[in-house]
Amino acid sequence: MVAALKLSRLTINKIKQNLVWAFGYNTIGIPIAAGILYPFFPPDYDYTGAGCRFHGT
């Protein structure tokens, strides 16, 4: 019984740790994916026609 309680505490602690890391990762990653760096690093290539060019029709 003591081992089960210890295991459950360790599991809850790991879940909390993963939530903190996920929050930090998403706090940084979502704005980057939304294009916050676009004004500082504009693309060198115009990707608007790439889909039509490689579509094959």
Q: Mind listing the pLDDT tens digit of every residue in the chain (57 residues)? A: 899 999 999 999 999 999 999 999 999 999 999 989 888 888 777 666 666 666 665
Give the model's pLDDT for residue 55: 66
- Per-residue CA distances from 16 to 1, 3, 28, 29, 48 (Å): 23, 20, 19, 20, 42
Give the model's pLDDT for residue 53: 65
Q: How far is CA 26 from the centre of its chain?
A: 5
- Per-residue CA distances from 45 to 21, 27, 32 (Å): 34, 28, 19
Give the model's pLDDT for residue 39: 86
